[in-house]
Amino acid sequence: MTNDKLTWLRKNLFSTWYNSLLTVACLVLLFWAVRGIITWATTQAQWAVIQVNLPLFLVGRFPQTLYWRIWIVLAIALTLAAITLGVFFGKQQLTKRGIALFAFIIGVVLVVLPLDFTSRLWLLLIAVLLFVGFWLGGKFTKVVTPWLSLLWLLSFPIILWLIGGGFGLQPVSTNLWNGLLLTLLMAAVSIVLSFPIGVLLALGRTSTLPVVRWFSILYIEIVRGVPLIGILFLAQVMLPLFLSADVRLDRVLRAIAGLVLFSAAYMAENVRGGLQSVPRGQIEAAKALGLNTALVILLIVLPQALRTVIPAIVGQFIGLFKDTSLLSLVGLVELTGIARSILAQPQFIGRYAEVYLFIGFIYWVFCYSMSLASRRLERQLSN
């Protein structure tokens, strides 16, 4: 250990006798907790509940013969994500250490996960696509960037088509969209739809037109005053009342409507914070150059405002992703709902710790990934 580290330890952990005592007590407590967790995980926990039900956790009751469609969806989404990351972080060259770490993680996943041979081949193919996508994004940034939004936009109906079927593919009822598949789908659609609505509400709240301003204020304050579970129940029960008797809205669509209405109100307040951070002088300067109001908002105000509130927006997205767990209370079997179903299996009754630790780990992986991407995006935009 270097002298700097010893100095840091002495200064921060052992500066006085009571700090030393507190440090030792914390280390003993930490050791006791970690040893207990490791002992439980290796000798008492029955991880067979995860191994046996892994397909249920991931895709629920989606027909097994149609898993190839889910693999294609995963390949499309992850390849586009890799290209996007390559565009934003393309300046950071892939190092041998990074490639080795990526290969090691893929190898561990292929060995550890209880998958059949076909699924392992799909995973290997997706890993290769991830690597190639990131390389392409970084290498051809100027060519790819103008098409990136269009690619994401076109991928959305293709993904829905592959999951739901129709137009030549075998239809799959939304009742069979379960597990992590439903969680990711609900979160992604709700995030994509709530963002532009939130931006419009934020602009409406700062508008000089009284009707627009008061409508936005009323909407935001009313929705923020109601808990999400209340809005989800309202969307399930009340929304069909506004439609024709011949129109029967699917439960998944009603749940998405509830999530979007709720998230848009909070998104509006986050964006409004960014709008207030833009100096008034810049708006006046843009108008002096001859730009009309729409161009001032699109070219001057929004880029700066959104950049300022990236942490708040990502925090909102993370919250929305975790809020999808409430959908199990309105009859949708997403990740938390499928976990409750698995816990009802006679052979796995009482395995709460294993099941909830597993789905908690899945939630953490996705939330931390969003947080990590947000921090790197902030760093990239600040350069």
Distance CA 175, CA 58 (A): 15
Two tokens, residue 152: 């994401």
Most confident of 31-35, 114-118, 346-350: 31-35
Burial of 31 by CB count in 10 Å (0-12 exposed, 13-18 middle, 19+ buried)? exposed
Note the pTM of the prediction, 2 decimals. Answer: 0.85
**pLDDT tens-digit profile of 317-334?**
999 999 999 988 888 889
Burial of 14 by CB count in 10 Å (0-12 exposed, 13-18 middle, 19+ buried)? middle
**pLDDT tens-digit profile of 194-223?**
999 999 999 999 888 899 999 999 999 999
Report the mean per-residue pLDDT for the chain: 87
**pLDDT tens-digit profile of 340-359?**
999 999 888 888 999 999 99
pLDDT at 1 exceeding the cut of 80: no
| pLDDT (0 to 100) of residue 216 | 94
| pLDDT (0 to 100) of residue 243 | 76
pLDDT at 146 exceeding the cut of 90: no
Residue type, 341: S
| pLDDT (0 to 100) of residue 203 | 92
Burial of 126 by CB count in 10 Å (0-12 exposed, 13-18 middle, 19+ buried)? buried
| pLDDT (0 to 100) of residue 381 | 73
Distance CA 206, CA 197 (A): 14
